[in-house]
Structures are given as C-alpha cells and as structure tokens.
C-alpha cells in the first residue's frame, strides 16, 4: 500500500476521489437541503464532483435546492479543488510526513515548474494570502452592491463571500437565484469578479514570479502564460461583441458600455470561470465555435481552472510557427523549447481530443439529444468550465455519469498524464537509424 501511494499518478486522483466521496456524503445529509430530505446519491455525486473539479455544472439550482449548509459544503469543495494538485500534494506530504520525500517533490515540481521544493510552503502561504485578499475585496464590493439592490445584510454578505470564492477558484457556482444575470447591471461587481477569475486562473508559478519580479526577469512559462491569457481574453471579447452586439437574446439593445463589459465577462468565463450574464444557449454559432476553443484551452498551469492550459496552446503554436519558418528549433523570448516539452504538449492535446470525441459519441448514443448542446456540455465538463446550454438537468443518469467522468478527468487526468510523462522520461543507451516518413 505504501508503494502504491508513492506513485503520483495514483496518489493525486485518489486524493481528489476521496474529497469527492466526502463531499457526496455531506450533500446527502438531510441538513444539506431546506426540506430536510437528503439529496439522491447521483445528484450529490454530480454536484460534489463539479465543485471539487471547479466546474460549475449542476443538475439542480444551487440557489434553491441546497440549504445554507449545502451551499457551505459546495463552497468548501471548490476551494479544496481550486487550489489544485500543488496544494493537495503539499498537504498530503504534511499529513504523511514532516519532511517531503523525493516523490512528493517531483509531484510538486511537475505542476509548478520554477518553484524549488524548499519554497513550496512559503509559496502556498503566499497564494493563500492572495486568495484571502482577492476574495475579501471582491466579497466586500459584491456584498455592498447587493445591499444597494435591496438584499438583507446577511444574505448580501453570504452571496458576496460565495461569489468571490467561486470567482477566484474559477468554480462557476452561483448562490444567487437566477444566476450571474443578477449582477449584469452591477459593472463594478462584474469587474472584480473578472479580476478574481483571471488572478486565480494564472497559476501558482506565475503568481510566484510576479511577486519576485525584482529578483530577475520572468521565465518563459510566465511570459507565455501572461501573453496567451491577454490575447485569448481580447480575442474572446472581440468575437463575442462582434457577433452578439445585435443579437436581442444576448447583447442586442443594451447600452454600449454594458455590451463591452458583458462581452469581456463572457470571454473571461469561457476559459474556466463558468459564470454567464446572458443566455449561453442563445449565442450564435460563430460565438459558439470561439467558445468551444476557449473552453478547451482553459486557464494557466497550476491555476484554479482546467483545460489543456494556456502554456500548452502557446507551445503548440510556437512549434507550428517555427516549422512554418523552417527553424530547426522552437524558440521564444530568447529561449529554446525542449523537444520533450513539445512531445508532452502534443500528447496532452491528442489525448484530450480523443477523450472528448469518445465522450460526445457515448453521450449521443445514450441521450439522443441534439449534437451541438452535447458537444458544448462535454467540452465544458472536460475543461472544468461550467457553462451550459441548459442541457445538464435533462441528461439521463448514464449520461450524467459520463459528464461526471469528464469533470474528474479534466481536473486530474491532464495533470496526472503530464506528471507521469515527466517522471517516466528516461535516456536510452542507443539510437535507431533515422528515417523520415512522408508527411501530408
């Protein structure tokens, strides 16, 4: 058993599975619902998985189905899941041993490149501090605007705390009846929620480097993540605004400032936030295609969100650009990318596409629902985004099981594969003769 737990490819998924199990049992308690009747197992499992995987998809309305206790359980789950593999590995190391072993150090380094094992505790303390500050500011602003809207003080405070936590962890859950549409008219609340989502999604290594800017220049990973995040944000906002500005079901007819703000909000949330201020099911097909792409990419490595990660996309794009230019090596910002990193990125993308294709096929066979919403739901689940076209509550238990598996794989599968690839890398003592098959 000891040898089994030392393997990070087994340890990390097991840790998340245990958290999901505990969350499921807690949500099945009678006190978790206003009626005093425990939630069915499938409902509790779906929501616990979604919260731990910081996804936000749900088969029930979070605001009305769960009691204050149930919402508090969800709040705790998406914080535990939101701090990701880095926090999980470190906390497990503290519980099992006072001193980190080599295997646990490798787990941490695989998820947080650039952070030395000895810095892990201080870095995690820093991130907890950032979370407290960001969530505290966001909660105060959101609660203040909800108070102005007429909500009682205790409700405004709870909703402010819940929404601030859901934003920073990229969880996508909403405690307000009616969803994030309730804050669509509060521009300041939308702005702080977007800021919290972006900060939480950048990733622990990037936040660590931003803090230590005076010690030297940023690493290639930090530069790629920051540049990719900015480009994806602007591209998503422009595409959304361009195709939805005259759509009466989304942005049409609203003041220009609100159109811009809501287009920006949609762009940020498609990459893992999961909140929406207009009907996602009413977006045009052009916007939907862009939303697909943004959901697949997701947030930064070691961040609160999911997806194949911004750095993975940047690595693939840089490799394509270098190949088109005829460069022998892939380079960026005065640095050369390792061929091993390129292979890891290709493997992750290929496996992600394969998983999504199989999942959509199975969903189609088991549910017989329209294909586009099924594709949207599958990508949202696997990318741990949480946006929905309203299809989740209509899914049969078998289809819900597929979505649960996608959320779980999206949260731990990609990182576990990346860790496994890094740990399994070995140097052979011989090389075969080189041959070049025809490409294209």
What is the DSSP code (8-state) at residue 38? P
Q: Is the pLDDT of residue 227 over 90?
A: yes
pLDDT band of residue 8 (cuts 50, 70, 90) is low
pLDDT at 150: 84
pLDDT score recorded for residue 106: 46
| Chain segment 322-371, per-residue pLDDT in tens | 888 888 888 888 888 888 888 888 988 999 999 999 999 999 998 888 89
CA distance 75 to 90: 21
pLDDT at 181: 67
- With a cut of 50, say whether residue 99 has pLDDT above it: no
How far apart, in whole angstroms, are the C-alpha atoms of residue 43 and residue 27? 9
Instruction: Tell me the pLDDT tens digit for each residue of 165-194.
Output: 999 999 989 888 876 666 767 888 899 999
Rounded Cα–Cα distance for residues 309 and 415 (Å) = 10
The answer to whether the predicted template modeling score (pTM) of the entire model surpasses 0.75 is yes
Rounded distance, CA 302 to CA 296, Å? 16
pLDDT at 90 over 70: no
Q: Which pLDDT belongs to residue 92?
A: 43
Which of 277 and 139 is assigned the larger pLDDT? Answer: 139
Which pLDDT score, from 0 to 100, does residue 149 have?
A: 83
Distance CA 267, CA 265 (A): 5
Mean pLDDT of 278-296: 92
**Is 95 a residue whose pLDDT tops 50?**
no
Contact 183, 66 (CB under 8 A): no
Rounded CA separation 320/326 (Å): 10
Answer with the residue of higher pLDDT: 167 or 149.
167
Instruction: Identify the band that residue 124 occupies on the pLDDT scale cut at 50, 70 and 90.
Output: confident
Range from 13-27, 32-46, 96-110, 128-142 carrying the lowest mean pLDDT: 96-110
When pLDDT is averaged across residues 212-227 and rounded to a whole number, the result is 78
Instruction: Please give the pLDDT value at position 103.
Output: 47
pLDDT category, 139, cuts 50, 70, 90? very high
- Give the integer Cα–Cα distance in Å for 219 and 106: 19
Q: Tell me, what's the pLDDT at 118?
A: 53
More confident residue, 109 or 365: 365
Confidence of residue 98 (pLDDT cuts 50, 70, 90): very low
Q: What is the mean pLDDT of the chain?
A: 84
Residues 6+ apart with CB under 8 A from 49: 20, 24, 55, 404, 407, 408
The DSSP bridge partners found for residue 331 are 336
- pLDDT of amino acid 96: 39
Q: Return phi, psi of residue 112, to 5°.
A: -130, 70
* Pairwise CA distance, residues 354 & 171, whole Å: 25
Give the pLDDT mean for 15-23: 92
Name the nearest CA neighbour of 202 among 264, 134, 136.
Answer: 134
| pLDDT reading at 420 higher than 70 | no
Distance (Å, rounded) from C-alpha 325 to C-alpha 388?
Answer: 40
């Amino acid at each position: 058993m000891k040898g089994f737990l030392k393997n990070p490819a087994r340890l990390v998924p097991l840790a998340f599975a245990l958290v999901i199990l505990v969350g499921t049992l807690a949500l099945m308690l009678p006190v978790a619902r206003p009626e005093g009747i425990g939630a069915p197992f499938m409902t509790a499992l779906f929501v616990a998985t979604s919260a731990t995987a910081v996804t936000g998809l749900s088969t029930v309305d979070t605001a009305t189905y769960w009691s204050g206790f149930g919402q508090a359980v969800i709040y705790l789950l998406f914080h535990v899941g939101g701090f990701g593999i880095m926090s999980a590995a470190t906390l497990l190391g503290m519980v099992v041993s006072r001193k980190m072993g080599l295997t646990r150090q490798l787990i941490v380094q695989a998820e947080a490149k650039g952070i030395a094992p000895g810095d892990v505790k201080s870095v995690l303390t820093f991130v907890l501090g950032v979370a407290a500050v960001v969530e505290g500011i966001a909660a105060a602003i959101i609660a203040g605007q909800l108070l102005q809207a007429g909500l009682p003080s205790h409700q405004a405070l709870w909703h402010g705390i819940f929404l601030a936590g859901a934003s920073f962890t990229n969880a996508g859950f909403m405690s307000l009846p009616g969803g994030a549409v309730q804050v669509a008219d509060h521009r300041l609340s939308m702005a702080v929620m977007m800021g919290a989502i972006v900060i939480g999604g950048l990733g622990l290594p990037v936040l660590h480097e931003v803090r230590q800017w005076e010690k030297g220049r940023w690493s290639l990973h930090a530069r790629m993540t920051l540049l990719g995040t900015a480009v994806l944000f602007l591209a998503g906002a422009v595409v959304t605004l361009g195709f939805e500005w005259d759509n009466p079901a989304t942005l049409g007819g609203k003041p220009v400032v609100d159109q811009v703000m809501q287009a920006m909000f949609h762009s940020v949330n498609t990459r893992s936030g999961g909140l929406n201020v207009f009907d996602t099911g009413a977006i045009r097909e052009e916007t939907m295609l862009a939303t697909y792409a943004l959901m697949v990419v997701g947030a930064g490595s070691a961040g609160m969100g999911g997806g194949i990660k911004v750095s993975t996309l940047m690595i693939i794009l840089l490799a394509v650009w270098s190949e088109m230019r005829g460069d022998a090596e892939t380079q960026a910002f005065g640095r050369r990318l390792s061929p091993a990193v390129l292979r890891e990125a290709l493997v992750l993308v290929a496996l992600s596409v394969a998983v999504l294709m199989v999942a959509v096929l199975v969903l189609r066979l088991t549910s017989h629902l329209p294909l586009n919403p099924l594709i949207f739901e599958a990508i949202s689940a696997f990318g741990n985004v949480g946006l929905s076209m309203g299809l989740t509550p209509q899914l049969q238990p078998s289809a819900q099981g597929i979505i649960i598996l996608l959320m779980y794989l999206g949260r731990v599968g990609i990182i576990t594969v990346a860790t496994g690839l890094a740990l399994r890398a070995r140097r052979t003592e011989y090389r075969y003769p080189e041959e070049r098959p025809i490409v294209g």
